[in-house]
Structure 1
Amino acid sequence: MTSPRARRALDEIPVYRPGKAAASEDHKLSSNENPYDPLPGVMERAAVELGRINRYPDAGTTALYAALSAKLGLSPDHFAASTGSVAVLYALLNAHLEAGDEVVYAWRSFEAYPIAADLTGATTVRVPLRTDATHDLDAMAAAVTDRTRVVLVCTPNNPTGPVVKAADLDRFLATVPERVLVVVDEAYVEFVRDADAADGLAALAAHDNVVVLRTFSKAYGLAGLRVGYAIARPPVAEAIRKATPPFAITDLSQAAAVASLEAEAELAERVEAIVQERHAMVAALRDQGWELPETQANFVWLPLGDDAMDFAAWCDPVSVRPFAGDGVRVSVGSPAVNAVFLDRAAAWRKEH
């Protein structure tokens, strides 16, 4: 008897693995979540939308695009939103890749990249990070061929933390053919304090083939509502919207995102508190003897290699994110939980 079969492309694609559950939500440092409650006004605005969930959402995501337009000084047709920036990425790749095409990205980088790319039937080309855990843009440029349609640049890089420098990105964009779409993934941009870091919006202003990805899941603390967006030239944004399922953004999520954009002062305070806690974590880990790459995100990276899985188990009751054979990513949580993690990290150093 013959059973229905899924596409053969799925045979080699792993299931996306979320961060490990922790003893409590506060102890979950595996998913890069914001430890703070929603910003002021978010719960009230979202609660209004709960009273009308019998209605379909605004298919045009009108209020969010208008708010982003006012914030970034671009017309609403520059935006394409979906359920998190990862869903926007899936739609973008579906809109621009097919069998026979190539997509180039650094590795290790965001683990959804190979899944999203392989689903299109395109060929993925992974370019190893440099020894300092940064993108090797020269090697990535050399990997571009006549078949390359998309290049993914993650800055700050998830899970290692460093940013791409503005001068390096400018040189890269001058080298890459204009027919190639360069996706600058800025999911953690609000946490960047490096004055020399690349600016996706500046790159977009100078190049028609740039797309910037951003999200409300990290700095804005709306991970549970799933709102991300692309910023691109209107024809590119339109292609992404075409490849996105209708009603992807609920009115509840849209209201929460708009309210978050209006709470800029409170956002800045919270982000700065996370950045300062990141500095403290990095300093403490280096004092313990750990060698860390320069992180500009809301997490740190421990290049543990083959010890990654054992270290993750050692950190209990704190949940961290191991990548077998590579390292462990640890989100910046509340000071109290970070202190528990640092105690476990110090004990590991003494035992190993």
Structure 2
Amino acid sequence: MTRIVHQLSLNENCSPPLPGVREALLGSVDQVHLTLDALADGLAAELAGHLGVAAERVVAGAGSGALLQQFLAAHCGPGSEVVHTWPSFEMYPLLIRNAHARPVAVPAPDDRQDLAAVAAAVTPETKVVLLCNPNNPTGEVLGADRLRALLEALPPHVLVLVDEAYREFADPAAVADAVELAATDDRVVVVRTFSKSHGLLGLRVGYLVGAADVVAPVRRTTPFYRVPTVAQAAAVAALAAGPRMRRQCERVAAERDRVRAGLLELGFDVPPSGGNFLWLRLGARNQEFVAHLAEHGIAVRVLAGGAGVRVSTGTPEANDAVLRAAALFASAPAPAPALAATNDR
């Protein structure tokens, strides 16, 4: 078996740690035996100041995944429904079922989220509409106008939870800012993470922003989803390194677009992406492509029940390896389709 050299299946940020993060981690090590800020109120206050919102509107948590689970558990339950688009983050159905709610997946024609169909899927049992923007794994970016149109079409009892895990890799002029939308519509709640843009994947830090009475039930569960002391320190340092973070994300986006241009030249079907990944649609050859890249030391993934292949953006070296392997795949003849079995006896 070929050794994997380039891990491009996990949407990791290949950029180096941001300035101040290492020092913050080392500086907090000698205090790990102390309780200190158990509920990360200091981090939440830093985030509130950074976002220009009241501290009561922000909850810091152990990554965006944990906060999604906390939110769904707080606002859903048996007999309730959560509507989400598909393909989207593969963990959404599991998180929804963990909250004893029923996931309602709305298919996306040509992998573009159909927000009119989302609104049409809402019933009196719907508690939450869950959207990923930019969408993982397709990379689609939703603008503010599309989200406002969805809000206008939804009944007042439905909350809109926007997962913005990858927004820093998107064009800021194109991607909706759910925090801004939440400032004027109490139904909007946004979850963000330090895992991708800020490179703190191994520390698990995220935050939730929304109306005070909407986030309050989530805050009550924070003692059980605590942000570790060292992670709080790293997040505060990373937040202060905002300009460097944005430059690094811009470089990742430039590499992503370079790889997409190369794949398009080779004849692959690759829609534009606002994340740190690309979405390749090869139909029946999805798994064959994954196996081919693995033979060349590159790990990528088939997702959404086989709808496509997600290729994370790595270092320039890794991205060059993807393009070389993809060129070999494109130049090789496709396997002949299997003949249908016949019974001529």
- Flag whether TM exceeds 0.5 (same fold): yes
| 1:226 equivalenced with 2:175 (yes/no) | no
Q: Which residue is 1:253 aligned to? A: 231
Pair 258,22 (structure 1): closer, same or farther in 2 beyond 3 Å = farther
Q: Which residue is 1:237 aligned to? A: 215
Question: What SS class does the counterpart of residue 290 from structure 1 fall into?
Answer: coil
Q: Which residue is 1:308 aligned to? A: 286
Letter in 1 for 2:126: T
**1:113 pairs with one of 92, 100, 105:** 92
Q: Which residue is 2:104 aligned to? A: 125
| 1:209 equivalenced with 2:190 (yes/no) | no
Q: Which residue is 2:338 aligned to? A: none
Q: Which residue is 2:255 aligned to? A: 277
Aligned-residue Cα RMSD (Å) equals 1.5
**2:58 pairs with one of 79, 89, 112:** 79
Cα deviations across residues 182-213 of structure 1 (Å, max 9, x unaligned)?
00111111111163432212211221111011
Where does the alignment leave 5 or more consecutive residues of structure 1 unmatched?
A: 1-20
Contact preservation (8 Å) 1:92, 1:243 = no
The offset of 1:349, in angstroms, is 1.0
Structure-2 separation of matches of 1:247 and 1:85: 11
**1:95 pairs with one of 74, 83, 92:** 74
| 1:329 equivalenced with 2:307 (yes/no) | no
Q: Which residue is 2:9 aligned to? A: 30
Q: TM-score, normalised to structure 2's length?
A: 0.92
Cα deviations across residues 276-303 of structure 1 (Å, max 9, x unaligned)?
1111111111011112112111100001
Structure-1 separation of matches of 2:279 and 2:203: 26
Structure-1 separation of matches of 2:3 and 2:302: 14
Pairs aligned (count): 329
Structure-2 separation of matches of 1:183 and 1:108: 17
Contact preservation (8 Å) 1:57, 1:247 = no
The offset of 1:249, in angstroms, is 0.1
Cα deviations across residues 105-131 of structure 1 (Å, max 9, x unaligned)?
001100110000011221111000121
Q: Which residue is 1:5 aligned to? A: none
The offset of 1:163, in angstroms, is 0.9
The offset of 1:345, in angstroms, is 1.1
Letter in 1 for 2:130: L
Q: Which residue is 1:61 aligned to? A: 40
Structure-2 separation of matches of 1:151 and 1:214: 16
| 1:347 equivalenced with 2:325 (yes/no) | no
Contact preservation (8 Å) 2:193, 2:207 = yes
Q: TM-score, normalised to structure 1's length?
A: 0.90
Structure-2 separation of matches of 1:258 and 1:109: 30
Q: Which residue is 1:320 aligned to? A: 300
| 1:146 equivalenced with 2:124 (yes/no) | yes
Question: What SS class does the counterpart of residue 81 from structure 1 fall into?
Answer: strand
Structure-2 separation of matches of 1:99 and 1:193: 39
Pair 22,330 (structure 1): closer, same or farther in 2 beyond 3 Å = farther
Structure-1 separation of matches of 2:104 and 2:223: 28
Question: What SS class does the counterpart of residue 161 from structure 2 fall into?
Answer: strand
The offset of 1:229, in angstroms, is 1.1
Structure-1 separation of matches of 2:231 and 2:246: 21
Q: Which residue is 1:8 aligned to? A: none
The offset of 1:67, in angstroms, is 1.3
The offset of 1:307, in angstroms, is 2.3
| Stretch of structure 1 that moved more, 275-284 or 318-327 | 318-327
Question: What SS class does the counterpart of residue 139 from structure 1 fall into?
Answer: helix
Contact preservation (8 Å) 1:59, 1:246 = no
The offset of 1:311, in angstroms, is 1.3
**1:51 pairs with one of 20, 23, 30:** 30
Pair 346,200 (structure 1): closer, same or farther in 2 beyond 3 Å = same
Q: Which residue is 1:15 aligned to? A: none
Cα deviations across residues 233-291 of structure 1 (Å, max 9, x unaligned)?
11112111223343610110000000001112211221111111111111111011112
| 1:104 equivalenced with 2:89 (yes/no) | no
Where does the alignment leave 5 or more consecutive residues of structure 2 unmatched?
A: 335-345
Contact preservation (8 Å) 1:58, 1:247 = no
Of structures 1 and 2, the larger Rg is shown by 2
The offset of 1:104, in angstroms, is 0.2
Contact preservation (8 Å) 1:194, 1:296 = no
